[in-house]
Structure 1
Amino acid sequence: MNGYSFVRQAWGYAALFFGIIGAAGCSVQSAVPAPIEGTQVTVSSPDSNLTARFYQVNDKEGRSLYYEVTYKGRTVIRPSVLDIRLDNHLSENAMALPVDTFTRWTADLVVKDIRRSSQDTSWKPVAGERALVRDHYNGATVSMQKANNPLYRMDVQLRVYNEGVAIRYYFPEHEKGSYYRVVAEHTEFALPAGTTAFHALWGQAPYRELPLRDWPGEAERPLTLKLPGGLYACLAEAQLVDYARTKFTLSPDKRNTVVTSIYTPADLISPFGTPWRVIMVADRPGALMENDFLLLDLNAPSRIKDTGWIKPGKIIRVMIQNTAEAKAHIDFAVKHRLQYILFDWKWYGPSFTFNSDATKVAIPDFDLPAIIQYGKERGVGVWLYVNQQALLAQSDSLFSVYRQWGVKGVKFGFVQVGSHRWTTWMEDMFKKAAENHIMINVHDDWRPTGEQRTWPNLMTAEGIRGNEEMPDATHNTILPFTRYIAGAADYTICYYDPRIKTTHAHQLALAAIYYSPLQTLYWYDSPALSDDEPELEFWDHIPVTWDETRVLQGEPGEHISVARRKGAEWFVGTITNNSARTLQLSFDFLPPGQSFLAKIYTDDPAVPTKTKVKVTEQRVNASTVMPIVLPASGGHAMWLKPDQVFKTWQVYLRPYRNYSCHNLYSPAPCALISGAKVPENVPVVLPVHRSVILQGPVMPSDDSVTGMAAR
């Protein structure tokens, strides 16, 4: 057992032990009272595996809202309180409305109506991990009204998908136009004893697997959970548009209970809905990653009608910002099939000041118009970094200027996140950029909640501890099961930097494992560092958007194997943590009856390159099981292309126009059974009056070939 596995198991035993002790202690949680008649509604997922139940109870504070969740009959969320706190007294006094006096705003809500719903539609993402996304759920809306102030109404909206449960608070329009001030939200998630969480304090923090006690602070979302008995769950936030960011904290008085904590109050006008609180559940951790489209489903459809200008791609940063280096990077991009180059901060002067003008170049020997034109001629676009100071001061004109210049995208730097103000500001930036055909990459602590569906010009975001911080391999194996559930992330993959703590095959495989429709490669690198190692062809040809994604195997903190398909080709990445291991990889994800040629990239210290990556080939099919031998912190990558449809043909060459011989062409290498070769697109001369047997995709050059039949 490696060190990480031992720590995880120890925490699991400790959490279970303290959960049992706590259940027997003096502060046992009291039983939930019986539901109030007429307030219950139970909704099951379309496949009947997930069930969510909502109800009200009478307690010492009045009426409380509760819900619970089961998966295949097993408890995922024990009875948990739904609680949102409002303080509208300023608006109420100003408008001569009755002042609500309840400490807990929901305490006198009375259920007036329960409506059921269902939906089964599909939509195509502009860029994504799958060609088609299904939006399939059963739902219910519980409409309530305050007993002491009937002008106030609130709905609890509930959706149950096969992939998870989503709940939010919705406030219909107030008849008198009262403003709403949300001062707190305490949505509970009461979990089974023994649950552990993959905890990170902020967007770029390291992860630790912790029991549900003694956390060092709030947990960033999404929050992935390991439940007793092998189930996995993930608590997430979706459609954060007009609200404050939510993190998760431990309940101060209820064991094994996680509670939402909003960053700041939110001042709102009805009608409005809070972000969705999402509980994803799966039998295996990889299914959480495969089902990350659930957050997209919970967001509004695209607000960009014409998306033809949105072009996903791979990007390299220009480390030394001058014209010569920029052109060298463009040449490198062309050679290695990269679509963009990036000029990072300081190109327009000091970033952390309002005195810098992001429409003027502030460094010498940097001819930006010439660089953009050179890139345009060679099919390479330019992205620019802009810090928040310039975004705030110049956003009304900045994007239109960049569009005139021919800039393709903007990387936002050091933007404020969390508060209601900065959440709505970010939404406005996406809109302004889209109006000017500018793509966006948000850096530093911001994390998406499914906004990419509404604003597909949002290509990626940081909010991740990536290669800038040089994390170890164990950290890298946690990310797909945690941060990447929120959506695309800009890990900024390095390759040549000596500070990397993993092998080069590990780095290579990350491009298949980590999803980002703007994939940064060669971070901290430059063309001068590259010796055009053979394995770079994997990055050269790998797409950044996909038709299908499969997590073949994996465990957070241990290892992961991901297969992604674009068209007929597959790219597969496997990485391990800080420990060596051998995995058995099944190719049963391939279509049956079809052979694929796999190019395989593995760590091998005997290879005479500085990267020590070996390139081999092997034919595979759906029945293949391949041993994957991984050194500590190692990786394994594969590029699978369908084999040519090699058939065996019997060909009779008859006389034609008095020719004594004829030419045969093959669109791909082909073999004569006799042992001769038919090279690609090179004619082979064969005499007439003879029958030959060929194997491969053969094309005759004229009509002299007869009797062609598959054998």
Structure 2
Amino acid sequence: MNKIAFYLLQTFTLIVVLNSCTAPPQKDNVSVTSPNDKFRFDLQIINSEPIYSAYFNNNKIIGKSSMGFNFSGNETTSHNLTIKSVKNRKVDKLWNPIYGEKNQYPEQYHEVIVDFNTTNENIPVFKLNIRAYNQGIAFRYEFENNGEIIIKEELTEFALPADSEVWVSHNAQANIAKRKVSELEDKLVERPLLAQLNDSLFVALGEAALIDFARMKFAPNKEKPGTLVASLDGEVTYDKGFKSPWRTIMAGNTAGELLENNYLILNLNEPSKITNPEWIKPGKVIREVTLTTEGGLTCVDFAVKHNLQYIEFDAGWYGHEYDETSDATTVTVDPKRSKGPLDLPAVIKYAESKGVGVILYVNRAALEKQLDEVLPLLKSWGVKGVKYGFVNVGSQKWTNWLHEAVRKAADYGLMVDIHDEYRPTGYSRTYPNLMTQEGIRGDEASVDNTMVLKTLFVRMLAGAGDHTYCYFNERVDAKLGSHASQLAKAVCLYSPWQFLYWYDKPVKEDQKTGTSGDFGNSITEVPELTFFDQLPTVWDDTKVIQGYPGEYAVVARKSGTTWFVGALNGEQERDYAIPFNFLDPNSQYEATVFTDDKEIKTRTKVAIDSRTLTSKDIIKKTLERHQGMALIIKKVE
């Protein structure tokens, strides 16, 4: 189903919201259960302090944990509290995204808003909003202050079993490592955080709707082995009422179940505020690496030939990105990157005539000084989107600035890709011009499939990730894995803007001058490029067939009646048996299968085979270390 159809369906979405009611508090206890009865959140007042715990299928996944904030003046929200009132609400609705990993998302939850009394007149009055979804639990703090308050630190704890294993990284683009939660170093760890409590119980902790607050990470509590504490990136100040970001707890029997349910993060954000989304268009992107007119025109022709929707000019088109004299309202090529010439208006005009959009990179140094000049100017040039580079993140100031920059881009009909340390918390539901973001350790870092398989089950819980795939660069064979696995990665890792040829250029081997850095690998017309040609970037349905972080994965995604499947293998050779019971049982399919084969006489050594498939079939295949397999499965009409 296409994007416009999604938008029109929003009008006809079934919504059932039961009237809320206020109930008298049940002494010092509140319990909230999800509609499917899988999740439960228990709140207790113990010694005048709020303590919570969480359950999945009657298994305790979060033990007794503290809540609240410390304010300036050493005042604490969590002391001297009693429950004043409890308001209940039930929501059961469906909503249709403009684009997504599915064409429709359920939003079903039971909500309780707990209002507190306190004997301390020096702390602001607050409420605790608790939601139990069918996919997990979320809670946030809601304040009704009239004057300024300053939050010094957050006290929210997440008490995992001490013997849990967790996948952690210390920043958004770092390696992800598997550790015992009780043995974590005294360093902050990123969200989302994935934990394995036993062989069939996985938990994910995260953050949603971070818009004008300070970013949360997790700090180990050395006095309570297994307990993590929310750690804010600096102070938070408000002079009126506010709501904190949501703290999220997901659980499932497999890591794949959590990944399939990652739309919980979107559900915790407000619906789209863009009334006419016609200009928001997902697609595939090739980066132009020569910063020349000739290179730009060649990229446009390649995009037309290979069904790409965008070309992108990266750093250097307006001068050195960190030079204070560089001006993003001019086309002034950085001589350290290219000798030029670059007639950018001519390239944009040519691209427009061919139905190809142009995306431009702008570094934070220019954005912070020139944002209000640059956005309307780029719009007047005919640019379709902007890549915000090396943005400041974390603090309340820069979190607020960045989301305001997304809103300003929407005002000018510009789509956005945010690069480097930013990780999503669902804001693309509210402003779907935020197409994708990095906050990921991608192909630029030459990561192998073992790391990609950690990224898939950990980082991608937060939402779309721009992995900047390359295909012909030497690092594919030397470090990443294989070419078939590069095809499969583009299915497994979701991004509405999918950069497919990050270090590659559609020129002859003898035309390597003027390239960015030493990444001058030319694109060869090998047969398997038909996979990228046919690949969508947004989906009607997504299934995680099997997998385990860092070891293996099989992901299937549907567009119309066609399925795309990606299988990625980690460090150890593995025998795969892939079922296709997700296919229509009443139909027959034709599958095109792409695998690594050293005997194939092409530069990339990818074999292409075809076979018929039904929902009862199983494909068995042995994948060697860091190999992959990709399939296109089309219904036979």
TM-score, length of structure 1 as denominator length:
0.82
Query: What does 1:26-41 align with in structure 2 at a 5 Å threshold?
Result: 38-41=27-30
Match of 1:540 in 2: 533
Show the counterpart of 1:576. Answer: 569
Q: Name 2:288's counterpart in structure 1.
A: 318
Deviations 1:166-225 (A, max 9, x none): 0111112x3xx2112111002111112320110101000001000013424211110011
Structure 1 residue 300 corresponds to structure 2 residue 270: yes
Question: What is the CA–CA distance in structure 1 between the aligned matches of 2:80 and 2:457, rounded to whole Å?
Answer: 40
For residue 484 of structure 1, report the CA deviation from its aligned partner. Answer: 0.7
Aligned pair partner of 1:486 in 448, 458, 462: 462
Tell me what 1:210 maps to: 179
Root-mean-square deviation over aligned CA pairs: 1.3
What does 1:414-563 correspond to in 2, within 5 Å?
A: 414-500=390-476, 501=479, 502-528=481-507, 529-563=522-556
Q: Pick from 88, 95, 107: which aligns with 1:123?
A: 95
Give the 5 Å matches for 1:239-250: 239-250=209-220
Equivalent position of 1:78 in the other structure: 63
Larger RCO: Structure 1 or Structure 2 (Cα < 8 Å, ≥ 6 residues apart)?
A: 2
Q: Post-superposition shift, 1:353? A: 3.0
Q: Secondary structure at the match of 2:445?
A: coil
**Contact 1:472–1:578 (8 Å) recurs in 2:** no
Partner of 1:653: none
Give the number of equivalent residue pairs.
589
| Structure 1 CA distance for aligned equivalents of residues 107 and 321 of structure 2 | 42
Q: Residue in 2 aligned with 1:54?
A: 43
Report the equivalent of 2:350: 374
Quote how far apart the aligned CAs of 1:226 are. Answer: 0.7
1:276 paired with 2:246, answer yes
The question of whether the paired residues in 1 share the 8 Å contact of 2:205 and 2:249 is answered with yes
> Do the aligned residues in 1 keep the contact of 2:75 with 2:122 (CA within 8 Å)?
no
Question: What is the CA deviation profile of residues 70-122 of structure 1, one whole-angstrom value per residue up to 9, with x for unaligned ones?
Answer: 111111011111121122x5xxxxxxxxxxxx643320222110111111112
Amino acid of the structure 1 residue aligned with 2:66? V
What letter is aligned with 1:447? R
Q: Which digits, 9 at most, give the CA deviation of each residue in 1:380-433, with x for residues without a partner?
A: 110000001111111112111111100001111111010000000011101110
Residues 297-338 of structure 1: CA distance to partner in whole angstroms, max 9, x if unpaired? 000111111111001000000111100111111111111100
Shifted more, 220-229 versus 237-246: the winner is 220-229
- Residue 183 of structure 1 aligns to which amino acid in structure 2? K
* Residue pair 1:129, 1:547 contacting (<8 A) in 2 also: yes
Aligned partner of 2:106 in structure 1 is 134
For the 8 Å contact 1:192–1:228, the answer to whether it is kept is: no
| TM superposition outliers: structure 1 runs of 4+ over 3 Å | none
> Is the Cα–Cα contact under 8 Å of residues 101 and 542 in structure 2 kept in the other structure?
yes
Q: Please give the per-residue CA displacement for 1:674-694, whole angstroms capped at 9, x wherever unaligned.
A: xxxxxxxxxxxxxxxxxxxxx
5+ residue gaps, structure 2? 1-24, 334-339, 508-521
CA distance in 1, matches of 2:376, 2:127: 41
**How do 1:390-405 residues align onto structure 2 when only pairs under 5 Å count?**
390-405=366-381
| Match of residue 341 from structure 2 | 365
**2:166 matches 1:197:** yes
Partners of 2:142 and 2:396 in 1: how far apart? 17
DSSP 3-state at the match of 1:130: coil
Q: Which moved more, 1:201-210 or 1:37-46?
A: 37-46
Structure 1: give runs of 5+ residues left out of the alignment. 1-35, 90-101, 645-711
- 1:594 and 2:587 are equivalent in the alignment: yes
Amino acid at match of 1:39: D
How many Å apart are 1:150 and its aligned residue? Answer: 8.2
Displacement, 1:547? 0.5
| Structure 1 residue 593: Cα displacement | 1.6
Residue of structure 1 equivalent to 2:628: 635
Q: Secondary structure at the match of 1:426?
A: helix
- Secondary structure (helix, strand or coil) at the match of 1:107 reads coil
CA offset digits 1:433-485 (Å, max 9, x no partner): 00000100000111110011011000000100000000111001111111111
Structure 2 residue identity aligned to 1:527: P
SS in 2 for 1:361: coil
The alpha-carbon deviation at position 151 of structure 1 amounts to 8.0
What residue in structure 2 maps to residue 336 of structure 1? 306
